[in-house]
A and B are shown apart, each in its own frame.
Chain A
Amino acid sequence: MNTSPIEYFKPINDLQLQELLEKHSGRFTLLTGGDFTPRLEETRPVMIDLQSLNKAQVLYKEGVYHVGGLVTLQELQDTFSQWHDLVAAISVEGGWNLRNSLSVDNFLRSAGARSPLLICLRALGAEVTLQPEGAALTLEEYIRGNCMDRTRYVETLSFAQPEGLAYEQVARTPKDLPILGMAVVKTRHQSYNVVCGGSSDWIEPVILADRAPETELLLQRALRDAGDQWASAEYRQSTAAVLLNRCLDKLAQEVDA
């Protein structure tokens, strides 16, 4: 942790932010809300706190949600309160005070392959826009290599309004992180994005055209090497088929309803 004197700035508009970023280029750390794993060992002498900028909003535009990087998990849960499975997934991430503390930006930096919310966001095919350079990355790209850089932040996390989202998990207790978690998103193109998590390593997403017969085979293949200290690959392969059917049934019921 840095114990030497630091300079702290809290810009109140994008212009001020821009000036600070230019002035302190290469010397700053961005503070983007309550932090799950703050990189306090970093020794950059300048801290730029983004909380007074308007980065904690959820916008819906042309069928796409844009979630600000400083939106907390609780705000995310409140915004999507009708998405019951997403709410359930967020509630597993942590209790009320943690959800009030943790921003989307910091969540994405710290979440691992066992994270229920991340499983859902991956299934939603989310993308992130990073500032200050304005780069757009898929969530998959971001979480697998770009998320630890403290000199840029997630300005928005975006995903299209799906036809439906279903999440199921197997865990030791109702609010434990999953041994196997699965989110299935039915897209507006009528395909299904299936994302599994719960193991120590990332499991590749599977995209299904429909409830096709090869579904199980695809899942088996995706989970072939998914054994770790938490569960065997064999167990995950078998259970994934069960969870997939439950998710697809839920989505079918949603459509019926």
Chain B
Amino acid sequence: MILDLLINDKEYTTHIKGQERLLDVLRKLGFFGAKSGGCKRGECGACTVLMDGKPINTCMFLALQAQGHQLETIEAAGEHPDQGWKKTSGFDPIQRAFIESGSIQCGYCTPAMILAARALLENNPSPDEAEVREALSGVLCRCTAYVKPVQAVLKAAEYMRWQERWFDPALQPDSKPYQPKVVQQDDIPLTETIGKSEVKVDAIKLAQGKPAFTADLNLPGTLHAKLLKSPYAHARITSIDASAARALPGVAAVLTWEDIPRVVYSTAGQSDPIPGPLDMFSLDNKVRFVGDRVAFVAAETPEIAEQALSLIKVEYEVLPLILDMRDALKPGSPRIHDEPEYVNFADSEPAINLAAKIRIDIGDVDKGFSEADQIFEQEYIVPKVQQAHIEPHVTLTYWDEDNRLVVRTSTQVPFHARRILAPVLGLPVKRIRVIKPRIGGGFGNKQEVLIEDIAAHLTIATGRPVLFEMSREEEFIASRSRHPMRVRMRTGVKNDGTMTANEMYALSDTGAYGCHALTVTGNTGQKSMGLYVGDGVYRQSPNIRFHADIVYTNTPPAGAYRGYGVPQGYWPLDRHMDNIARKLGMSPIDFKLKNALHSGEYQPFSTAWNEGREPVPEIIDTIGLEACARQGKEAIGWDEKFGNETWRHVPGQPHLRRGIGMATMMQGTAIPYLDMGGASIKINDDGSFNLLVGATDLGTGSDTLLAQIAAEALGVLPADIIVISSDTDTTPFDVGAYASSTSYISGMAVLKAATEVAGKLKERAANIFKDRGLDVPAGDIILKDRHAAAPGGESVSISDLALDSLHWRQQEQIMASASHVSPKCPPPFAAQFATVLVDIETGQVTVEDLIMAVDSGVIINPVNAAGQIEGGIAQALGYGVSEEMVYDEQGRPREVDLVDYHIYRADEMPNIKSIFVETYERSGPYGAKAVAEIPLDGAAPAIGNAVMDACGANIFDNPVTPEKVWRALQQQS
């Protein structure tokens, strides 16, 4: 039928079929700023547009219902001011404020936020912060913690008031973003671009809602894929009949395990050889969790594909199941992996449901315990949680004109995806091209070759483009999650607080498949237990034991999630350390710092373990932990609050108690001797540069940091660097975005390549100076302000050097490529502080403040780095108080949407603040270390410690939910 819509003051007439939603029709018409969060129930708000000036969720309306209304999308908000000969009025003030303020990380929810802000400011030109938060309350963001978007809307309001009332340039509001506090601990060389809060290189397109994401490409003839999922947690498929589904008009292909080659593989996006078992098939005759794959369908529309799923007849032999990780290793437990193709890695033993095993003993642990005055022992529990990126997993596959398979996919690991897909699809690597567009968040869940094979198999079967987009429900039941664990701590201490031995045993639940099983759990011990070596003689010879068993259960597989096992370590470790300090009568800060690693000491685990490879001992040079603790203490007012009964009680509210807590943390920066990134740089006629990297910016801002690194070395502006990332055909290899490696590893590759290009520019400048009668050695020339300058002041522009090299004489393409592997893994350190309000009658915990001081080396872009910290803290906040995935006795999930799996909204966030303590890490580009993962580690234990401080409720089982606190208080009383 014909549909007439009024969009951005223009009339559109289109044909629609059946009951199409407004979201789908807008996207078909090319309004890609409206995004799908996969829910279609208004849960995330990414699909927001304005209808008659009010923000609405387009996934909740049929397109027909929008007839007669005025629709406004992000595409009408504003555009680039300079379009060649055509000049425009430029960006909307709200877009401008979002761009300038660092509000845009992955950018998937940005158009929705801008439109919600627009609706607010149209009616309320001077909103306060609470009103802004209220306006943004329906747009979920997993990246920013809403800190900078709220600042942006307030700034936009200033711009709009200024435009309306004065329009005097002298009175124009300051366009600089709010800068985080940056404290320099070491002497740090002066730089031009490094250390400046440059605007993200992708901010402008994302603020305009440009079609930058995987699904923003309408290829003619695209089929839509759907997945038939298992209703049983453990069953064998005894028969499967897809004939009725295949006969349905509009169905192009139905694939079951009988139709495709049986190739065992791992979905873990890691370097070769994958450090874990190969235990998965694209389709199998056995299902191992509720939501496991049964069949793939491709059809002309998503609705036909959905209908086809219901026509597939499957008979199952239901098998006994394992849901509790403690049952997995028990004799007589059902065996989850009995397939003959299973490939062991290290100590995996499928016969006893053991995916991996870790045994690390450093020093003489038993002797350490025998020397202790007191030994403290406790079991802790951490839950399964979901990454909850707003853009679901999405892949588009098609054959190109050279009969090569193109995989356009929202992935953190394009090169690993290509390598892993090749045998699964029966194609050589050279016939697969993986393109990574912008990613709407991943947080580790896209470090997985999770769905690319589904679309690819269907493209092979049909010869046509296939789009597979996971629904929100599928994200919960069939993607990956953080490994839940039960962790037993045992710690020996002297009465003066010296730790003599520390032991952790982790029972880790990898779910139905062993992706990341070994390496995630290895990190649990390595990067948490490695922080505490003890004091005095123990400092030289620490006694640390970390043992772990990683077991299979019939729950959805766990995998990589930002923090990669380390948050699971810090909940038990830091809560345990805090409790010990209290029992010894010491300040938790003093106790933790007394036993923590010092500069110049070995990371103890580096002497004993390396993810299944040969260990390489590593001395840690830069540790700003004490300064972080000092800064955090001051910012939160620790000395005034800790142990202060007056502060603890809330006047007029006898049922409330305040508490303060802190945690200290260490993460990692890349995987030494393994993570590798490459970069290529070439100059253009105007002195701009193409920077080609395989590194994968998933919203973190890494493309911007890489541009800043290149710009610093080349003496140009970041705006002169055109970043191209990433395409396995055109960009150099990079392991991808994980292990906090991009700025450190890929950044060094960029720095090496840029330094080589800079050398060539200097050589050419020296020749030009020579022609001018100046004899200047190339080594004396500096590149700055887009010029090559001699010490005497003579200079030549980079653009002239470009023309000289490309056209005028001794022509050459000035370019260079480089790659980098690091022998080191210099950890970032941090101190996380929290204050909470506990209702001692109900157990409800309200987090009031989360302040984190971080040593991430030199901060390349402070606003961007602050965004990483803030967003990470928000995820960790959820880990601390609300997020968990629960299953019933049949393995069916409680959480299948963003209602029950509640992530924080803008109008309920606590005060979040980040502080940077800069150290100079010589092995990193311009002194940088990692920043992205450490904010995940400390909020949960700091909150747990603060709850303990508030009311004495000692919670060992994360998250700190009301009933747990209530029970702990009941036990006390």
Contacts and interface: CB of A to CB of B under 8 A. Distances in A.
A10 B834 CA distance: 54
A229 B886 contact: yes
Contacts of A51: 65
B920 to A, nearest CB: 39
A31 B65 contact: yes
Contacts of A8: 1, 64
Interface of B: 1, 17-19, 41-42, 45, 48, 51, 54-57, 60-62, 64-65, 67-68, 112, 116, 134-139, 301, 303-304, 306, 655, 839, 841-844, 846, 881-882, 886, 888, 894, 899-900, 902, 904-908, 959, 961-963, 966-967
Contacts of A100: 51, 54-56
Interface in A2-27: 2-6, 8, 10
Contacts of A176: 882, 902
Q: How large is the interface on A (under 10, 10 to 19, 20 to 34, 35 or more residues)?
A: 35 or more
A100 B959 CA distance: 33
A170 B881 CA distance: 13
A97 B842 contact: no
B219 to A, nearest CB: 21
A216 to B, nearest CB: 14
B139 A49 contact: no
Interface string A121-133: 0000000000000
Given A34-B42, A175-B908, A229-B894, A97 B116 contact: yes
Interface string A154-182: 00000000000000001111111101100
Contact of B18 (A6, A34, A101, A174): A6
A176 B962 CA distance: 12
B904 A35 contact: no
Which of B135, B844, B881 has the most C-beta atoms of chain A within 10 angstroms of its own C-beta? Answer: B844
Given A95-B906, A96-B137, 6 more contacts: A94-B42, A97-B45, A172-B962, A173-B908, A175-B904, A180-B842
Contact of A36 (B60, B135, B908): B60
Contact of A235 (B881, B905, B966): B966
A34 to B, nearest CB: 4
A17 to B, nearest CB: 16
Nearest to B907: A175
The 8 closest A-B pairs by CB, nearest first: A95-B138, A95-B137, A97-B138, A172-B882, A97-B55, A174-B908, A3-B18, A1-B303
A33 B886 CA distance: 33
Contacts of B61: 34-35, 101
Given A179-B962, A242-B842, A34 B57 contact: yes
A113 interface: no
Contact of B907 (A34, A95, A171): A95
A238 interface: yes
Interface string A81-92: 000000000010
Interface string A64-106: 0000000000100000000000000001001111111110000
A102 B42 CA distance: 9
Given A97-B55, A235-B963, A173 B902 contact: yes
A101 B56 CA distance: 5
B358 to A, nearest CB: 32
Contacts of B48: 97
Contacts of A6: 1, 18-19
Contacts of B51: 100
Which of B888, B894, B963 has the most C-beta atoms of chain A within 10 angstroms of its own C-beta? Answer: B963
B62 A38 contact: yes
B42 A97 contact: yes
Contacts of B894: 229
Contacts of A36: 41-42, 60
A74 B137 CA distance: 13
Interface in A28-54: 31, 33-38, 40, 47, 49, 51-52
A252 interface: no
Contacts of B116: 96-97
A232 interface: yes
Contacts of B303: 1-3
A180 B622 CA distance: 49
Nearest to A241: B841
Contacts, number: 156
Given A96-B116, A229-B894, A49 B966 contact: no
A59 interface: no
Binding site secondary structure of chain A:
loop
A106 to B, nearest CB: 8
Contact of A239 (B138, B908, B966): B966
B308 to A, nearest CB: 12
B963 A232 contact: yes
Given A91-B907, A101-B60, A172-B902, A96 B55 contact: yes
A195 interface: no
A209 interface: no
A175 to B, nearest CB: 4
A49 B894 CA distance: 34
Given A173-B881, A173-B908, A179-B962, A96 B138 contact: yes
A243 interface: yes
B18 A2 contact: yes
Contacts of A10: 67-68
A55 to B, nearest CB: 14
A100 to B, nearest CB: 5
Contact of B842 (A52, A74, A96, A239): A239
A51 B56 CA distance: 15
Nearest to B49: A97
A176 B473 CA distance: 19
A106 B844 CA distance: 31
Contact of A95 (B45, B839, B881, B888): B45
Nearest to B900: A177
B761 to A, nearest CB: 51
A235 B881 CA distance: 18
B1 A5 contact: yes
A95 B19 contact: no
B18 A5 contact: yes
Given A34-B57, A94-B42, A94-B138, A49 B64 contact: yes
A177 B901 CA distance: 10
Contact of B42 (A74, A98, A179): A98
Contacts of A135: none
Nearest to B905: A175
Contacts of B886: 229
A170 B134 CA distance: 21
B841 to A, nearest CB: 4
Which of A96, A177, A180, A232 has the most C-beta atoms of chain B within 10 angstroms of its own C-beta? Answer: A96
22 contacts: A1-B19, A1-B303, A1-B306, A5-B18, A34-B61, A35-B62, A36-B41, A36-B60, A38-B60, A91-B137, A94-B138, A96-B116, A170-B843, A172-B959, A172-B961, A173-B881, A173-B902, A175-B902, A235-B966, A239-B841, A239-B962, A242-B842
B306 A95 contact: no
A217 interface: no
Contacts of B60: 34-36, 38, 98, 101-102
B56 A179 contact: no
A218 interface: no
A174 B17 contact: no
A155 B881 CA distance: 41
A34 B64 CA distance: 11
B462 to A, nearest CB: 20
Contact of B846 (A95, A174, A179): A174
B320 to A, nearest CB: 22
Nearest to A74: B54
A4 B41 contact: no
Given A1-B18, A172-B959, A229 B888 contact: yes
A11 B25 CA distance: 23
